[in-house]
Chains A and B, each alone.
Chain A
Amino acid sequence: MKRIVILGAGTAGTMMANHLRSELKKEEWEIDIIDEREKHYYQPGYLFLPFDMYEPEDIVKTIQEFIPKGVRLLQDKIELIDGANNLVKMRNGDQLHYEILIIATGARIAPEEIEGMKGSEWQKSVFDFYTFEGALALRNKLREWEGGKLVVHITEMPIKCPVAPLEFSFLADSYFKHKNMRDKVEITYVTPLSGAFTKPKATEALDHLMVDKNIKIETDFAIAEVDNENKKIIDYGGKEVPFDLLVTVPTNKGDDLIERSGLGDDLNFIPTNKATLQSQAFKNVFVIGDASNIPASKAGSVAHFEAEILTENILRFINNEPLKEEFDGHANCFIETGNGKALLIDFNYTHEPVEGTFPFPGVGPLRLLKESRMNHMGKLAFRWIYWNVLLKGTHIPFVSANMTEAGKHFN
């Protein structure tokens, strides 16, 4: 019996378990998946939890219920990947031999990277919303907060779902409006980038929304420290931004396992072929989702597109065929803009997000780069799709793994 081991049973690992179990013969291939957690968190929901738009139970389920029959789920911490000997070592001392390894250990926040970030004000006036605990603590804080200077901040790129902090600012604007206290809150968006987003066309549209919603923006800010005593963030160039409430996205890193195993770059992301998803270190090791260093968005939608192509490449690898160099960096993200509306962007390695219609060229019903209620419904529907379609590895009708250019207004 040959064995495929999948590390991490989050979005990407779960999808791969489902895809591969339906493609590979049970008599030939054992599939194991390992995760230290018992629960599967719907991370896009962390954006809505602080604003009381979702309840905790909307976004947490067990890992087990999404793992197909015929796949063995092991609950333990992975200690080490020994790529030279095709072994995975676990905390309980067990080790597993594999023919093929798929790393899907994701990314986590590392507030300890910045001086003072995890200081005396952590979860008092300094919060993150990239973890379940962080989002929940922030919800409780917002419920009773009486206003002041709200600073929404990105520490450094890359981060998961790079539009989430912008969405947070937009949702905060509408949350405080509904609470009739928008005039008591000053919102500032602080970013290490030179504008609201990394892609020019989308930045233009988003900068415009910032002005509309009276959100100030501070660009090119490379944070050096959080000053807990005087409640301000200070950058290396000496710029200071005072806050009453700081909502920060700390540095995102791959799991420490990657560092221990000597497989990562300086942020513990794994050097990976961006078209085939094969790791650069070992031919029989593949990487999917947030754990890789490919220049695509760290998003669930990207993992979904990757999973279709990676499944095909694993089958090719097993049959000794050349890998398909097919992944194009396709990402498709809804951007909540507040007041029941959202934008949609669709892009890849080479094409930036532009205006147009999706998924049917000229028809929609979703509009690219334009605010609409339909897009907002799309974003809310995404949770249902995530739990019921995406994790099971089912293909989403009309949405292809590679980006389509039809129906888009490139100049």
Chain B
Amino acid sequence: MEKTIAGRTIAVNEEGYMTNFGEWNKEIGESLAKEAQIDLSQRHWDIIKYIQDEFKKESPLSIRKIGKSGVVDIKEFYALFPNAPLKTATKIAGIPKPASCI
């Protein structure tokens, strides 16, 4: 599927997660945040950057891992990205929804 956002066409899946991280830029991130009703502060960007770095290292993400990252604790993570923070933050960061291992 495709979607037009911030004046550009990007590839997304049915749930709205970007499927090509190469297409992501800051403006797209901001627009995706707006859709999730989040105003991005510097703290949000710190976390988005951490998430993207981990993604590039192919290291799987989890709430536990973010809580131990030193970037943010879980309480603040929830305060910044309410409800389902990992899902919302990864969507804004332009990376796939973390698959929960089973």
Contact of B45 with A by CB under 8 A: no
Q: Does B64 contact A (CB under 8 A)?
A: yes
The total of chain B residues at the interface (CB under 8 A) is 18
Q: Which residues from 57 to 89 on chain B have a C-beta closer than 8 Å to any C-beta of chain A? A: 62-65, 68, 74-75, 77-78, 82-85, 87
Kindly state the separation between the CA atoms of A173 and B77 in the bound complex, as whole angstroms.
36
> What sequence of 0s and 1s flags, for each residue 39-68 of chain B, a beta carbon within 8 Å of any chain A beta carbon?
000000000000000000000001111001
Contacts of B62 in A (CB 8 A): 156-157
Instruction: Take A158-B101, A193-B100, A236-B75 as given contacts and tell me if A222 and B87 are in contact as well, using a CB distance cutoff of 8 Å.
Output: no
* A156 partner, pick from B64, B78, B99, beta carbons under 8 A: B64
Of the listed residues A198, A220, A222, the one surrounded by the most CB atoms of chain B closer than 10 A to its CB is A222
Task: Tell me the A residues contacting B by CB distance below 8 Å.
Answer: 156-158, 162, 192-194, 197-199, 220, 222, 224, 236-238, 266-267, 295, 297
With A224-B75, A266-B68 already in contact, the answer to whether A237 and B102 are too (CB < 8 A) is no
- Tell me if A157 and B102 are in contact (CB < 8 A): yes
B102 adjacent to A224 (CB under 8 Å): no
Asked whether A297 lies within 8 Å of B102 as measured between CB atoms, the reply is yes
A295 touching B64 in the complex, CB below 8 Å, given contacts A236-B74, A236-B75, A237-B83: no
Question: 24 A-B Cβ contacts within 8 A?
Answer: A156-B63, A156-B64, A157-B100, A158-B100, A158-B101, A192-B100, A194-B84, A194-B87, A197-B102, A198-B101, A198-B102, A199-B102, A220-B83, A220-B84, A220-B87, A222-B74, A236-B75, A236-B77, A236-B78, A237-B78, A266-B64, A266-B65, A266-B68, A295-B99
- What residues of B have a CB within 8 angstroms of the CB of A193 in the complex? 100
Tell me the bound Cα distance from A266 to B101 in angstroms. 14
Chain A residue nearest to B82 (CB atoms) is: A237
- Given A224-B74, A236-B78, A266-B65, 19 further pairs, Cβ under 8 A: A156-B62, A156-B64, A157-B102, A158-B100, A158-B101, A192-B63, A192-B100, A194-B87, A198-B99, A198-B100, A198-B101, A222-B63, A236-B74, A236-B75, A237-B78, A238-B78, A266-B64, A295-B99, A297-B102
Determine the distance from Cα of A238 to Cα of B75 in the docked complex, in whole angstroms: 10
A-B contact count (CB 8 A): 47
A residues within 8 A CB of B83? 220, 237
Q: How far is the CA of A220 from the CA of B63 in the complex (A)?
A: 11
Interface residues of B (CB under 8 A from A): 62-65, 68, 74-75, 77-78, 82-85, 87, 99-102
**Complex-state Cα separation, A220 to B101, whole angstroms:** 15
Q: How many whole Å from A259's CB to the nearest CB in chain B? A: 14
A29 to B26: give the CA distance in the assembly, Å.
Answer: 60
How far, in Å, is A52 (CB) from chain B's closest CB? 29
Q: What chain B residues lie within 8 Å of A158 (beta carbons)?
A: 100-102
Identity of the chain A residue whose Cβ is nearest the Cβ of B101 in the assembled complex: A158
A237 to B82, CA, bound (A): 7
In the bound complex, residues from chain A placing their C-beta under 8 Å from that of B68 are 266
- Nearest 9 pairs between A and B by C-beta? A236-B78, A198-B102, A158-B101, A220-B84, A157-B100, A162-B102, A237-B78, A295-B101, A236-B74
Please give me the residue from chain A that is nearest to B86 by CB atom: A222
Nearest CB in chain A to that of B76: its residue: A236
Expressed in whole angstroms, the Cα–Cα distance for A197 and B84 within the complex equals: 16
> Which residues of B sit under 8 angstroms from A197, Cβ to Cβ?
102
Q: What are the residues of chain B within 8 A of A198 when measuring CB–CB? A: 99-102
Name A269's closest neighbour in chain B (CB-CB): B101
Kindly state the separation between the CA atoms of A192 and B87 in the bound complex, as whole angstroms: 12
Q: CA of A236 to CA of B101 in the docked complex: distance in angstroms? A: 21
Q: Closest CB-CB distance, B61 to chain A, in whole Å?
A: 12
Which residues of the other chain, A, contact B99 by a CB distance below 8 angstroms? 198, 295
Q: Note all chain A residues with C-beta closer than 8 A to B84.
A: 194, 220
C-alpha gap A367/B62 in the complex (Å): 34
**A266: chain B residues within 8 A (beta carbon):** 64-65, 68
Name the A residues within 8 Å of B65 (CB-CB): 266
Residues of chain B with a CB closer than 8 A to A267's CB: 64
- Chain B nearest CB from A218 CB (Å) reads 12
State the CA gap A156–B63 with chains docked (Å): 9
